[in-house]
Amino acid sequence: MTLEELNHLEKPALAEALQKCCGSTKWVENMLAAFPVSDAETLMDEANTAWNKLDEADWREAFTHHPKIGGDVEALRAKFASTSTWAEGEQASVKQASQETLEALATGNEDYERRFGYIFIVCATGKTADEMLALLQARLTNDPADEILIAAGEQNKITRLRLEKLLAA
């Protein structure tokens, strides 16, 4: 979709397109107010500004729109059908991971969710499963107040990548 096409979508269709990039209702509302945008750089700036206006509850809402890294692909496919292709591409290296790494990711995800109350969020693009496992294990020791900020930063990176994919579709 071109930026011009995005700029000319009716609000419901635009909201649906933006929701694929970030699952925060408030972020989508903030972005709707920014349209039309003049160019891709402005779109990215507006997305970042909209993200930075959110609070922890909004971040946590966005996190719920992600499959768990290394999770059950079939169960997640139904829940995240609209973004499944993007998420699978973002997590492609997990499919090539060893069984040991996959089991460690599954256990680590459970530990992470129990500790912090939300799934492990990482911008997986370009990372191997072993790298993501190392990041997960390192972040498990973080203070919850620090970790939510790290997770929010990762979500912001994912949102930017998904906006780029939206414009490339």
7-23 average pLDDT score: 96
Q: Which residue has the higher pLDDT, 132 or 73?
A: 132
Q: Taking the model in full, what pTM does it have?
A: 0.83
Q: Is the pLDDT of residue 90 over 80?
A: no
Q: Is the pLDDT of residue 83 over 80?
A: no
Q: Is the pLDDT of residue 70 over 70?
A: no
Q: Is the pLDDT of residue 13 over 80?
A: yes
Q: Is the pLDDT of residue 2 over 80?
A: yes
Provide the pLDDT confidence category of residue 78 given band limits of 50, 70 and 90: very low
Contacting residues for 43 by C-beta, under 8 A, at least 6 apart: 3, 6, 37, 163, 167
pLDDT of residue 35: 96
CA 35 to chain centre: 22
Query: Smallest Cα–Cα separation from 121: which of 159, 73, 75, 86?
Result: 159
Q: Is 66 a catalytic residue?
A: yes
Q: Is the pLDDT of residue 151 over 50?
A: yes
pLDDT of residue 44: 97
Q: Is the pLDDT of residue 137 over 70?
A: yes
Q: Which is catalytic among the residues 60, 65, 66, 160?
A: 66
